[in-house]
C-alpha cells in the first residue's frame, strides 16, 4: 500500500516541481520585458522575485519529495599524532636568520610608499579659514550687520571667501542683555552677536538644532547639549568641551567681522591637540 | 551532453577518485546549518549586483549641477558620486532594483553572519579542531561590517556623509597614530576630495577580494574537517551522518540559493532602502535629523551616545571621549570573541576534539555568557536610535539616554543569571530523562513479582530519531 502511495506522491511532486520551473521561466521572460519597456521597479522586482522563488520551490520539491531520501555516513580520520616535520634543528642557522631579516626589511620598506596616500598635515589641524577682519557671511554670500539677526535666532555663517568650508562653519546668534551678562568673553559679542563653532566637539557633526526656549544647542548625532548662556558649555550628552567661541567685532562699514581665528582647534579632540 | 563533458574533463584531470568521494559526502540535516549558507548566498548576490553598480557609479567629488529627471533636486549642486547614484536610481534600466537588492543583501548578509556565529558559539562548534574557522569567521564578520560601512558611505548623501564624519573623528581619536591613520584612509583632513576614490577601491576591490579568499578557506576547512552534528542514534564522534551532497543536498541548497535571491529581490522591489534623494547631497555644515546608520553599525552609534563624557589628558596629550566607546570597547569585545576558544579551554581544561555539538543548555555558563553579550549588543543597538524613540514616545531624549545607560550595565547581568538558571533547569530535566542513566527498568512477572531487566534491553524509543 505504502509503496503505491509513495509512487503516486512522487509523481505528484514531480508535476508540481515541473510546473514551478515553467512558472519561473515565464516570470523570467516577463522580467526581461518589464526592463526592456522600463516599467516600474515594483513590476521588475515582482517578476524577477517570482522567477527566483518558483525556481526555489521547484528545486526544494525535487530534493525533498522526488528524490529518494537517503542518509550516508562518512568516517572521520583519527587525528595524526606524528609531527609533520621531524628532526628540525634546535637553533636557527645563520642562513635562516638572514632570510628572515631580509623578509622583514623588505616588508617594512614596502610600507613607506604608503606615505604618498597620506598628505602631510600642516596647520590644517589647528586653524580654520577665519582670518582677522574676515567678514561674516551667510551661505549665499551676503554679509551681515548686527541688526540683520533677530534676538533669539540662529544662523549658519562662514568667513567671506570660504563658504561651505567644513571646519569654518559657525553658528551666529544674537543674545538678549540678560543672557549676555553670563558670557565669559562678552567683549567678543558686539551688540549681543555671538558666534560658536558649528563643529561638535564630540564627533564632529554639525550642531544643527537650537532649542530657543532653553537657549541650548543640540547635536543631532549623539545628543550632546550645549548651553549658550554658559558660553556653549556641554550640559548633557557625551561631549566634554564647550563649542569654541569666535571673537567678533563690527567693522567701520557696519558689518560683522572676525577679529581673529578661533583661539583653539575646533571640532573633536586628537592626540596632539594641545 | 553533460556526460560527454564530464568524461572529457575526467580523462584529462583524473578527477574521478576525488569526485566519487565528494559527490556522496555527508551533509547533516539541521535547520541551523543553513545560516552560514544564507550568508554565503547573500555574498554571491552582493558580488553580482555590486559588479553591475560598480560600472555605473562615479567615485568622484567633482562638483556638478543636477539636471536629471528627479525634479526636487534639479539645479542643485552635488558631487558626481551623488549624481551617479541618482542616475542609477532614476534612469538606468533596473538600476533602482539592483541598488536596493544590493543594500538589502548587505543587511541580510550581516544578520546571517551574526546569527550563524551565535549558533557556532552556543553549540560549542568552535572547539578543537575548529578554532581556526572560528577565527576566520570572526574576521569575515569584521570585514563584512567594514565593507558595509564603506558601501553605504559611497553615495555621498547627507546621511552617510555625517556617518563618515563620525568615523573620521573616531579614527582621529586613537593615541599617537590617530591623525596619521585618518589622513591615510580619508586622503587628508575631512572632507577630502580623495575620500570617494579611497572608499570605492576599498569597497569593490580590496575588502571583497579578502572576503572571497577567506570564504574559500572557511569552506575548504569545513570540507576537510567534515561537518559537526548533533548527537543521535548512529551518530558518534567518529562519523558524520547526513544527506549525500549529490543530488539531495545540492538540489536543496540550490533551492535555498534561489529562495534567498527571491526574498532579496522582493525586498528590493517593495521595501524602500536608503532613499538618498530624500536625504539630499552632502554639505559639511548640514545634518539630517534624526540620523541613523545601518543596523550593524547601530551598536557603535549607541555606544558613542551612551558613553559618559570623559576626556583624558596624559603627558600633555589628549585622549578624546570617542576613543573609549568607538575604539576601545569594540576592540575589547572582539578580542574576547577571538580569544573565546582559549578562554573556554582554560576554564574547562578540555583539550579533546569535539565533533558532536553541545545542546546550548548543556553548558549553562557558556550560554549565559553568550546571551549577556547579545543583551549588551542589543541595548547598544537600541540606544543607537534613542532620538527616534524619544520623538515617537514624546519624552526628552536625555531621560532615555539615562535609562539606556543603566540598562546597558544591568541587562547583561540579569540576562546572565536568568539564562544560567533556565539552562541548568533544562539540562537537569534532560539528564533525568536520559535512557542510559542509573535507573533500572523493572518488569513484572505472572505471579505479581518484580524483576530488574538487563541494562539496555528496555530502552525507551528514541525521542529524536535520525531525520529522514
If 0-12 CB within 10 Å is exposed, 13-18 middle and 19+ buried, where does residue B20 land? exposed
Pairing of strands B312-314, B317-319: antiparallel
Residue A147 sits in the same domain as residue A91: no
By the CB < 8 Å criterion, does A102 face chain B?
A: no
What percentage of chain B has pLDDT greater than the value 70?
95
Residue B278 sits in the same domain as residue B390: no
What percentage of chain A has pLDDT greater than the value 90?
63
Band the pLDDT of B468: cuts 50, 70, 90. Answer: very low
Q: Which domain holds residue B373?
A: 358-452
Neighbouring CB atoms inside 10 A of A125's CB total 16
Contact A271 B176 (CB under 8 A): yes
Start-to-end C-alpha separation, chain A? 88
The count of domains in chain B is: 2
CB-CB neighbors (< 8 A) of B305 in chain A:
222-223, 237-238
Residue B104 sits in the same domain as residue B225: yes
Cis previous bond, B191, omega within 30: yes
Please check whether residue B196 lies inside any domain of the structure.
Answer: yes
Q: Among residues A96, A117, A138, which one ends one of the domains?
A: A117
Please check whether residue A23 lies inside any domain of the structure.
Answer: yes
Contact A118 B466 (CB under 8 A): no
Closest CB to B226 among A76, A125, A237: A76
Please check whether residue B50 lies inside any domain of the structure.
Answer: yes
pLDDT of residue B463: 40
> Interior CA angle at A136 toward A134 and A137, to 5°?
120
Q: Is a pLDDT exceeding 70 seen at residue A122?
A: no
Q: What's the pTM value of the predicted model, to 2 decimals?
A: 0.92
Residue A156 sits in the same domain as residue A172: yes
Residue B95 sits in the same domain as residue B224: yes
Q: Among residues A67, A85, A117, which one ends one of the domains?
A: A117
Chain A interface disruption, residue of B100, B162, B262, most A CBs within 10 A: B262
Q: Average of pLDDT values for B44-56?
A: 97
Please check whether residue B85 lies inside any domain of the structure.
Answer: yes
Please check whether residue A268 lies inside any domain of the structure.
Answer: no
Please check whether residue A270 lies inside any domain of the structure.
Answer: no
pLDDT tens digits along A78-113? 766 666 666 666 677 899 999 999 999 999 999 888
pLDDT tens digits along A17-65? 999 999 999 999 999 999 999 999 999 999 999 999 999 999 999 999 9
If 0-12 CB within 10 Å is exposed, 13-18 middle and 19+ buried, where does residue A35 land? middle
What ipTM does this complex have? 0.92
Q: Which residues contact B237 (CB under 8 A, 6 or more apart)?
A: A76, B353, B354, B355, B356
Residue bearing cell 533602482: B96
Residue A133 sits in the same domain as residue A250: yes
Residue A137 sits in the same domain as residue A79: no
Contact present, B262 and A28 (Cβ < 8 Å): no
pLDDT of residue B431: 81
Residue B236 sits in the same domain as residue B285: yes
CB-CB neighbors (< 8 A) of A64 in chain B:
252
User: Which residues, numbered 210 to 249 in chain A, qualify as contacts with chain B under a Cβ-Cβ cut-off of 8 Å?
Assistant: 220-223, 225, 234, 236-241
Please check whether residue B6 lies inside any domain of the structure.
Answer: no
pLDDT of residue B228: 94
The Cα of B119 is separated from the nearest Cα of chain A by a number of Å equal to 23
Please check whether residue A131 lies inside any domain of the structure.
Answer: yes
Whole-angstrom Cα distance, residue B26 to residue A134?
Answer: 76
Please check whether residue A180 lies inside any domain of the structure.
Answer: yes
Q: How many CB pairs under 8 A join A and B?
A: 261
Whole-angstrom Cα distance, residue A45 to residue A60?
Answer: 22
Residue A88 sits in the same domain as residue A151: no
Q: Which domain holds residue A23?
A: 2-117
Band the pLDDT of B403: cuts 50, 70, 90. Answer: very high
Residue B326 sits in the same domain as residue B419: no
Residue A106 sits in the same domain as residue A193: no
Residue B434 sits in the same domain as residue B309: no
The Cα of A212 is separated from the nearest Cα of chain B by a number of Å equal to 15
- CATH number of the domain residue B248 falls in: 1.20.810.10
Q: Is a pLDDT exceeding 80 seen at residue B229?
A: yes
Q: Average of pLDDT values for B138-147?
A: 98
pLDDT tens digits along B445-461? 788 788 776 555 444 44
pLDDT tens digits along B240-299? 999 999 889 999 999 999 999 999 999 999 999 999 999 999 988 888 777 788 999 999
The count of domains in chain A is: 2
Whole-angstrom Cα distance, residue B68 to residue B76?
Answer: 10
Band the pLDDT of A1: cuts 50, 70, 90. Answer: very low
Q: Which residues contact B101 (CB under 8 A, 6 or more apart)?
A: A45, B45, B49, B264, B265, B267, B268
Residue B365 Cα to chain centre, angstroms? 23
Q: What is the mean pLDDT of chain A?
A: 90
Residue B303 sits in the same domain as residue B387: no
Q: Which residues contact A36 (CB under 8 A, 6 or more apart)?
A: B93
The Cα of B223 is separated from the nearest Cα of chain A by a number of Å equal to 12
Please check whether residue A152 lies inside any domain of the structure.
Answer: yes
Q: Average of pLDDT values for B98-105?
A: 97
pLDDT of residue A245: 94
Residue A35 sits in the same domain as residue A60: yes
Q: Average of pLDDT values for B434-444?
A: 66
Residue A131 sits in the same domain as residue A250: yes
Residue B325 sits in the same domain as residue B196: yes
Amino acid at each position: 500500500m505504502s509503496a503505491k502511495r509513495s509512487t503516486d506522491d512522487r509523481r505528484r511532486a514531480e508535476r508540481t516541481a515541473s510546473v514551478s520551473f515553467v512558472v519561473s521561466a515565464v516570470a523570467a521572460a516577463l522580467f526581461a520585458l518589464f526592463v526592456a519597456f522600463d516599467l516600474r521597479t515594483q513590476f521588475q522586482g515582482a517578476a524577477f522575485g517570482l522567477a527566483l522563488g518558483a525556481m526555489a520551490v521547484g528545486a526544494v520539491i525535487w530534493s525533498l519529495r522526488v528524490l529518494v531520501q537517503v542518509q550516508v555516513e562518512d568516517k572521520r580520520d583519527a587525528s595524526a599524532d606524528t609531527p609533520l616535520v621531524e628532526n628540525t634543528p634546535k637553533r636557527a642557522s645563520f642562513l635562516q636568520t638572514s632570510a628572515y631579516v631580509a623578509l622583514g626589511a623588505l616588508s617594512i620598506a614596502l610600507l613607506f610608499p604608503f606615505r604618498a596616500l597620506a598628505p602631510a598635515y600642516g596647520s590644517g589641524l589647528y586653524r580654520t579659514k577665519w582670518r582677522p577682519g574676515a567678514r561674516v557671511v551667510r551661505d549665499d554670500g551676503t554679509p551681515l550687520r548686527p541688526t540683520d539677526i533677530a534676538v533669539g535666532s540662529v544662523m549658519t555663517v562662514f568667513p567671506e571667501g570660504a563658504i561651505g568650508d567644513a571646519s569654518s562653519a559657525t553658528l551666529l546668534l544674537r543674545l538678549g542683555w540678560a543672557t549676555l551678562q553670563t558670557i565669559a568673553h562678552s567683549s567678543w559679542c558686539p551688540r549681543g552677536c555671538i558666534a560658536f563653532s558649528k563643529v561638535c566637539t564630540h564627533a564632529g557633526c554639525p550642531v544643527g538644532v537650537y532649542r530657543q526656549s532653553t537657549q541650548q544647542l543640540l547635536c543631532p548625532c549623539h545628543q550632546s547639549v550645549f548651553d549658550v548662556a554658559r558660553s556653549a558649555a556641554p550640559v548633557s550628552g557625551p561631549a566634554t568641551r564647550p563649542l569654541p567661541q569666535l571673537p567678533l567685532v563690527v567693522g567701520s562699514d557696519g558689518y560683522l567681522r572676525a577679529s581673529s581665528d578661533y583661539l583653539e582647534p575646533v571640532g573633536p579632540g586628537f592626540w596632539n591637540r594641545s | 551532453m553533460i556526460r560527454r563533458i564530464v568524461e572529457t574533463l575526467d580523462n584529462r584531470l583524473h578527477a574521478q577518485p576525488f569526485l566519487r568521494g565528494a559527490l556522496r559526502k555527508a551533509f547533516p540535516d539541521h535547520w541551523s546549518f543553513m545560516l552560514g549558507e544564507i550568508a554565503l548566498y547573500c555574498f554571491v548576490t552582493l558580488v553580482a549586483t555590486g559588479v553591475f553598480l560598480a560600472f555605473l557609479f562615479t567615485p568622484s567629488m567633482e562638483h556638478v549641477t543636477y539636471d536629471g529627471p528627479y525634479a526636487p533636486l534639479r539645479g542643485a549642486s552635488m558631487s558626481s558620486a551623488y549624481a551617479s547614484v541618482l542616475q542609477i536610481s532614476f534612469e538606468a534600466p533596473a538600476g533602482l532594483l539592483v541598488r536596493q537588492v544590493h543594500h538589502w543583501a548587505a543587511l541580510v548578509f550581516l544578520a546571517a553572519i551574526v546569527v550563524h556565529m551565535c549558533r557556532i558559539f552556543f553549540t560549542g562548534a568552535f572547539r578543537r579542531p575548529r578554532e581556526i574557522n572560528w577565527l576566520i569567521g570572526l574576521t569575515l564578520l569584521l570585514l563584512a561590517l567594514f565593507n558595509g560601512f564603506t558601501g553605504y558611505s559611497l553615495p555621498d548623501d547627507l546621511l552617510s556623509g555625517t556617518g563618515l564624519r563620525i568615523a573620521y573623528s573616531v579614527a582621529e581619536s586613537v593615541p599617537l597614530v590617530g591623525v596619521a591613520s585618518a589622513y591615510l584612509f580619508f586622503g587628508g583632513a575631512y572632507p577630502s576630495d580623495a575620500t570617494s576614490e579611497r572608499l570605492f577601491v576599498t569597497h569593490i576591490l580590496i575588502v571583497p577580494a579578502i572576503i572571497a579568499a577567506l570564504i574559500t578557506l572557511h569552506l575548504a576547512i569545513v570540507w576537510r574537517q567534515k561537518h559537526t552534528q548533533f548527537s543521535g542514534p548512529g551518530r558518534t564522534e567518529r562519523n558524520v551522518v547526513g544527506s549525500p551532497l549529490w543530488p539531495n543536498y545540492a538540489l536543496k541548497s540550490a533551492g535555498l540559493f534561489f529562495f534567498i535571491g527571491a526574498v532579496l529581490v522582493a525586498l528590493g522591489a517593495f521595501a524602500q532602502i536608503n532613499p538618498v534623494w530624500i536625504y539630499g547631497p552632502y554639505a559639511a555644515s548640514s545634518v539630517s535629523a534624526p540620523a541613523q546608520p545601518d543596523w550593524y553599525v547601530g551598536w557603535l552609534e549607541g555606544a558613542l551616545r551612551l558613553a559618559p563624557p570623559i576626556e583624558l589628558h596624559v603627558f600633555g596629550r589628549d585622549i578624546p571621549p570617542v576613543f573609549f566607546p568607538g575604539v576601545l570597547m569594540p576592540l575589547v569585545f572582539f578580542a574576547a570573541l577571538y580569544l573565546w576558544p582559549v578562554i573556554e579551554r582554560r576554564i574547562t581544561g578540555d583539550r579533546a576534539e569535539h565533533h558532536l555539538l553541545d545542546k546550548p543548555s548543556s553548558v549553562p555558563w557558556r550560554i549565559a555568557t553568550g546571551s549577556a553579550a547579545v543583551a549588551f549588543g542589543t541595548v547598544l543597538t537600541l540606544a543607537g536610535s534613542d532620538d527616534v524613540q524619544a520623538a515617537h514616545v514624546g519624552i526628552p531624549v536625555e531621560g532615555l539616554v539615562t535609562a539606556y545607560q543603566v540598562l546597558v550595565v544591568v541587562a547583561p547581568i540579569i540576562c546572565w543569571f536568568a539564562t544560567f538558571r533556565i539552562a541548568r533547569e533544562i539540562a537537569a530535566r534532560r539528564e533525568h530523562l536520559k535512557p542510559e542513566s542509573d535507573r533500572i527498568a523493572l518488569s513484572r512477572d505472572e505471579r505479581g513479582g518484580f524483576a530488574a531487566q538487563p541494562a539496555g534491553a528496555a530502552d525507551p524509543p528514541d525521542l529524536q530519531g535520525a531525520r529522514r
